[in-house]
């Protein structure tokens, strides 16, 4: 959830820094753009780790109380909506509050909330609709199929 809005701006900042440096332009501007790229990359990764911990931990705790899949979906959406402003703060710091970057990141907020809500039951382990989240094997709590005696 975190790197989707932040990493493109980091790549753009590093690309601009490279152009400024190679063109023989303002070295101070190139250094500032490198700093922004590093802030955006590191901050997005840190915000992503924080978001993952809060989202997975909150869903794990909620799954002990909430039994319906739609309840976990709503819980995942609420948790995602609460933790995504960390990425907005990273983009604000890494771009000096640039309006276009903040606006795009702000527009990604509801999209990321929907994505987290859609995957919340899989994250908790209640469903296995998204197979890429799971290793092969039986669902926990599922009994293995009996083997027929061939003798």
pLDDT at 144 over 70: no
Q: What would you report as the CA-atom Rg of the chain, rounded to the nearest whole angstrom?
A: 21
pLDDT at residue number 119: 83
Question: Under 8 Å CB-to-CB from 22, ≥6 apart: which residues?
Answer: none
pLDDT digits (tens, 9 = 90+) for 128-141: 665 655 566 655 55
State the CB neighbour count (10 A cutoff) for residue 96. Answer: 9
Residues 18-42: tens digit of each pLDDT: 888 888 777 888 888 899 999 999 9
DSSP tag of 126: S
pTM for the model stands at: 0.73
Q: Give the mean model confidence (pLDDT) for residues 115-143.
A: 68
H-run or E-run covering 40:
helix 27-62
Query: Residues for the chain: how many in total?
Result: 151
Q: How much of the chain exceeds pLDDT 70, in percent?
A: 83
pLDDT higher than threshold 90 for residue 79: yes
Q: What is the pLDDT of residue 135?
A: 61
Q: Which residues contact 55 (CB under 8 A, 6 or more apart)?
A: 1, 76, 79, 80, 83, 116, 120, 123
């Amino acid at each position: 959830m975190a790197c989707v809005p932040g990493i493109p701006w980091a790549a753009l900042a590093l690309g601009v820094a490279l152009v400024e440096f190679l063109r023989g332009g303002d070295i101070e501007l190139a250094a500032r753009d490198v700093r922004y790229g590093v802030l955006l990359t590191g901050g997005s990764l840190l915000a992503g780790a924080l978001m993952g911990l809060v989202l997975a931990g909150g869903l794990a705790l909620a799954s002990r109380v909430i039994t319906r899949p739609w309840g976990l979906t709503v819980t995942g959406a609420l948790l995602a909506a609460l933790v995504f402003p960390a990425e907005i703060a990273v983009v604000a710091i890494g771009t000096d509050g640039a309006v276009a970057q903040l606006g795009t990141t702000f527009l990604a907020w509801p999209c990321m909330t929907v994505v987290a809500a859609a995957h919340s039951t899989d994250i908790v382990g209640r469903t296995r609709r998204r197979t890429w989240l799971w290793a092969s094997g039986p669902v926990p709590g599922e009994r293995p199929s009996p083997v027929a005696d061939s003798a």
